[in-house]
A and B are shown apart, each in its own frame.
Chain A
Amino acid sequence: MSKHLYRLAPLALLLFGLFAMVQARDLSLGELGAPGPGLWPFICASLLSVTAFVLLFVDDPADYEPWTRDTARIALGLLSLAVFIVLFQEIGFLIPAVLMLLIWLRLFAQEPWRWAIPLAVLGAVAFQLVFVEGLGVPFPDDIVLGG
């Protein structure tokens, strides 16, 4: 079973392609002389499905890298980014940015605290200055700066 695991990727692509084909058909295909909005997506989705179907059989298992323990770290990294986006929207830039930099510098870059903390704080402040003061990007209201 596990030696066929690598076929999951083309299988997912195939299912996605078939799903898109059905959706495109619902958009109305029109006809060749007067193409409807669904015709082009239908053609693309068909190409996707056909190639994914072929890959189910011809793909080279060596292309697929094994999942390692480190994969869990990736999940953690992604989670930290998702939390950053949510917090950014709710409480502004500074605190989420410091937290995100701290996590990445300490956990993933494995910098000692004495480097991670100043880098995170200075980095966040520098970004705030460049983007808000320098480029005039309207960040969401910041609880630190009192919005």
Chain B
Amino acid sequence: MGIADGLGEGFSVALDPTNLLYVFIGVLIGTVIGVLPGLGPTATIALLLPLTYELEPVTSVILLAGIYYGSMYGGTITSVLLQLPGEAASVVTTFDGYQMAKQGRAGPALGIAAVGSFIGGTIAVVGLILLAPPLADLAVEFGAQEYVALTAFGILLVTYLGTKHPVKALCMAALGLLLATIGQDAITGTGRFTYDQVELFDGLDFVAVAMGLFGVGEILYNLEKSEKAEQIKSRIKNIWPTRKDFKDSSGAIARGSVLGFFLGVLPGGGGVISSLASYGMEKRRAKDPSRFGKGAIEGVAGPETANNASSTSAFVPLLTLGIPPNVVLALIYGALLINGVQVGPQLIDTNPEIFWGVIASMFIGNLMLLALNIPLVGVFVQLLRVRAGILAAFALLITMVGVFSVNNDVFDMWVVLAFGVIGWLMKKTGFEPGPLVLAFVLGAILETNFRRAMLTSDGQFDTFFTRPLSGTIFGLMALVIVYSTVMGIRRQRSGRPPALYADQLDAAAPHETVPGSEAEGTAGVAAADGGSADDSPSPGGGSTRAQP
């Protein structure tokens, strides 16, 4: 199917009234939860997973994707107005966006963010269209070895790139892989770790695990934080940016689109890393870098564009290889599996309506977001009056009833509760749930392909290294490990904070903590470590903590 045919089919799917409604619901929910601090995209998508049982596969992905990129818009609003990022990717926006608001330019800051997000999102959709089909064609040739290599590479990159502490993340990934083995062995039928419990024969339910770790865990964690009511001080007027604003930020938007697209495709990439990278790039390129942190419009436009572009391009590896590059995509992947859709290189051919329908819905969703955001910012801001405690109570009830509705089984409610406790303990102890869930989702693919490769190669381990493609990927993995270890040691020796982009963050960070923001799971690059962890906003999931 050519691109034109594909898009034609896609738009006919996306313009179907039901799907149109769900794009709208998705971007609306996304914007709302982006505005509400304390409930991020990961938690929301986890909470809504049971709903996807009721929907067609393509509709559920359209909905969940809308929530994801919608939350990128919504997070901007609170970042600019209150210096409170609703989700982690918007942390960077607080640097200059809040300063602009203090200078009475909240309107243009929000306006340029919406326009930039729209452009970034749209460019990334075009990139997705161009890149995905050839990649999928290539991936059809993959054997078991390549899948082992790619899956392991995905897990490794998420643990290395996206987290504060690679060993801890790796430990959680191992735990996720182990939990995925609970239940009947797919090949021999032997019950594993089931302890004769009938409920465990089918393994732990992915929905229950994700809802527990991200939903309940997050709510319990926030319970320990004291809340305070927020007051909007700046009035919003003249939301449409001036011609000068557009001129100043056009370069930032163009660079942000491209940068965000490529960082989003990488496993472990996604919103946080791309917005940080874009901010760093704009600051380096600026004639007068000292303007940054004092209300430079490029500092809002670039990162906001980049995080939207990356949240779109993150669909490339999922839709072509069947490998989710970050946790939000892992949840969407889970939703597809629940619906019995095989996600992988064959998806474009076997389920063209999903591939092209989701792409077309992104065009429409981005347009809707632009239309929603420019005139309705004032309405969304009112949402901040909803108290987090009320939200938590109802979110918990939704979780409990929702997970029950999946299998009509009370056992799943206990699983949610157990994983809620685990998720909360993990947050308290600096372990991130993202790698665990990603590994849990990928565990079955990894095991099946590993065993298939072992069987066909008669137990020769070098089969992974002698095939050109899997050998290359394993080579890359070795490079990542060596490089990050060497860099880690060098950073430690020179006494610099052991995290990517720490310099940019340190330089521009307003010295306040950021409560209630949530990383999209693993995508948190730690801002700073050790001593400085208390006075700079850190976008990492486990590292966003309020001061006691």
Is the pair B429, A41 in contact by a Cβ cutoff of 8 Å? no
Using Cβ atoms and an 8 Å threshold, which residues of chain B touch A74?
Answer: 220, 223-224, 424
Assess whether B450 is interfacial by the CB under 8 Å rule: yes
Q: A101 with B188: in contact, given A44-B174, A45-B178, A52-B171 (CB under 8 Å)?
A: no
- Whether the pair A62, B533 counts as a contact (CB closer than 8 A) is yes
Question: In the bound complex, do residue B54 and residue A84 qualify as a contact, i.e. CB atoms below 8 Å apart?
Answer: no
Chain B residues with CB below 8 A from A51, complex form: 167-168, 170-171, 174
Which residues of chain B come closer than 8 Å to A135, judged between CB atoms?
A: 54, 405
Q: Cα distance A20–B180 when bound, in Å?
A: 13
Looking at chain A, what size class is its interface with the partner chain? 35 or more
Cross-chain contact B389 with A111 (CB below 8 angstroms): yes
Residues of A within 8 A of B459 (CB): 31-34
B454 close to chain A: CB less than 8 A: yes
Q: How far is the CA of A77 from the CA of B424 in the complex (A)?
A: 12
Question: How far, in Å, is A69 (CB) from chain B's closest CB?
Answer: 9
CB pair A6–B429 under 8 Å, yes or no, is: yes
Tell me, yes or no, whether A35 is within 8 Å of chain B by CB: yes
Given A44-B177, A109-B392, the answer on whether A37 and B533 have CB atoms closer than 8 Å is no
How many Å lie between the Cα of A21 and that of B413 in the bound state? 28
CB–CB A55/B167 < 8 A: yes
From the candidates B181, B420, B429, B461, name the one contacting A63 in the complex (CB within 8 A).
Answer: B429
In the complex the two chains form, is B167's CB within 8 Å of A37's CB?
A: no
Q: Is the CB of B193 within 8 A of A23?
A: yes
Q: A35-B451, A41-B192 are in contact. Are A66 and B548 (CB under 8 A)?
A: yes
Taken residue by residue from 209 to 249, chain B's Cβ proximity to chain A (1 for < 8 Å, 0 otherwise) reads as: 00000001000100110000000000000000000000000
B529 at the interface (CB under 8 A from A): yes
Asked if A33 contacts B171 (CB within 8 A), the reply is no
DSSP class of B's interface residues: helix, strand, loop or mixed? helix
Q: Which residues of chain B from 392 to 434 have any CB-CB distance to chain A below 8 Å in the complex?
A: 392-394, 396-398, 400-401, 404-405, 408, 410, 413-414, 417, 420-421, 424-425, 428-431
A47: interface (CB < 8 Å) = yes
B407 smallest CB distance to A (angstroms): 11
Closest to A107 in B: B389
> Is A37 within 8 A of B187, CB to CB?
yes
Does B387 lie at the interface of the complex (its beta carbon under 8 Å from any beta carbon of A)?
yes
Residues on A with beta carbons closer than 8 Å to the beta carbon of B168: 51, 55, 59, 63
A85 to B397, CA, bound (A): 11
Known: A35-B454, A138-B408. A97 touches B397 (CB 8 A): yes
In the complex, the answer to whether A38 meets B192 with C-beta atoms within 8 Å is yes
User: Is B190 in contact with A27, judged by CB distance below 8 angstroms?
Assistant: yes
Q: Quick one: which of B389, B401, B450 has the most chain A CB within 10 A?
A: B401
Q: Is B137 an interface residue (CB 8 A)?
A: no
In the bound complex, do residue B405 and residue A137 qualify as a contact, i.e. CB atoms below 8 Å apart? yes
The 4 closest A-B pairs by CB, nearest first: A109-B389, A63-B430, A33-B459, A32-B459
Do A64 and B408 contact each other (CB < 8 Å), given the known contacts A32-B454, A85-B414, A101-B397? Answer: no
Please list 18 pairs of residues, one from A and one from B, whose beta carbons are closer than 8 Å in the complex, sorted by A's number. Answer: A9-B429, A20-B193, A27-B192, A41-B181, A44-B174, A45-B178, A55-B167, A64-B428, A81-B417, A81-B420, A88-B400, A100-B397, A101-B397, A105-B390, A111-B389, A127-B401, A138-B408, A139-B404
A71 at the interface (CB under 8 A from B): yes
Q: Residues of B with Cβ closer than 8 Å to A?
A: 54, 164-165, 167-168, 170-171, 174-175, 177-178, 181, 185, 187-188, 190, 192-193, 216, 220, 223-224, 387-390, 392-394, 396-398, 400-401, 404-405, 408, 410, 413-414, 417, 420-421, 424-425, 428-431, 443, 447, 450-451, 454-455, 458-461, 529-530, 533, 542-543, 545, 548
Interface string of A34-76 (1 = CB under 8 A from B): 1111111100110110011011001110111111101101100
Residue interface mask A125-147, B partner, CB < 8 A = 1: 00100010001011110000000
Which residue on A lies nearest to B421, using beta carbons?
A78
- Given A73-B224, A74-B424, A85-B167 contact (CB < 8 Å): no
Contacts of A9 in B (CB 8 A): 425, 429, 431
A13 to chain B, nearest CB (A): 6
B390 lies within 8 A of A119 (CB): yes
Task: Please name the residue on chain B nearest to A78 by beta carbon.
Answer: B421
Contact with B along A109-125 (1 / 0, CB 8 A): 11100000001000110
The residues of B that contact A89 with a CB separation of less than 8 Å are 410
Residues of chain B within 8 A of A35, CB atoms compared: 450-451, 454-455
Shortest Cβ distance from residue B5 to the other chain A in the assembled complex, whole angstroms: 36
Contact partners of B171 in chain A: CB under 8 A: 10, 13, 48, 51-52, 55
Chain B: CB-nearest residue to A39? B451
Complex Cα spacing A20 to B192, Å: 11
Known interface pairs A20-B178, A44-B177. Does A85 touch B417 (Cβ–Cβ under 8 Å)? yes
Please, which residue of chain B has its CB at the minimum distance from the CB of A110?
A: B389
Known contacts: A41-B178, A100-B397. The answer to whether A108 contacts B431 by CB under 8 A is no
Closest Cβ neighbor of A54 among chain B residues: B167
What residues of A have a CB within 8 angstroms of the CB of B417 in the complex? 78, 81-82, 85
Q: Which residue of chain B lies nearest to A6 when distances are taken between CB atoms in the complex?
A: B429
With contacts A9-B431, A81-B417, A124-B397 known, what are 15 further pairs, Cβ within 8 A?
Answer: A20-B178, A41-B193, A47-B170, A48-B175, A51-B167, A58-B167, A59-B167, A62-B530, A64-B430, A74-B224, A74-B424, A77-B223, A78-B220, A85-B400, A101-B394
Are A137 and B178 closer than 8 Å at their CB atoms? no
Q: How far is the CA of A131 from the CA of B401 in the complex (A)?
A: 8
Known: A47-B170, A64-B430. A108 touches B178 (CB 8 A): no
> Closest Cβ of chain A: how far from B60's Cβ, in Å?
14
B530 lies within 8 A of A73 (CB): no
In the assembled complex, how far is the CB of residue B528 from the closest CB belonging to chain A, in whole angstroms? Answer: 11
Q: A65 → chain B, closest Cβ, in Å?
A: 5
- CB <8 Å contact, A44 and B178: yes
Contact call B188/A13, Cβ cutoff below 8 A: no
Taking the closest CB of chain A, its distance from the CB of B113, in whole angstroms, is: 31
Query: What is the distance, in angstroms, from A91's C-beta to the closest C-beta of chain B?
Result: 13
Complex-state Cα separation, A41 to B180, whole angstroms: 9
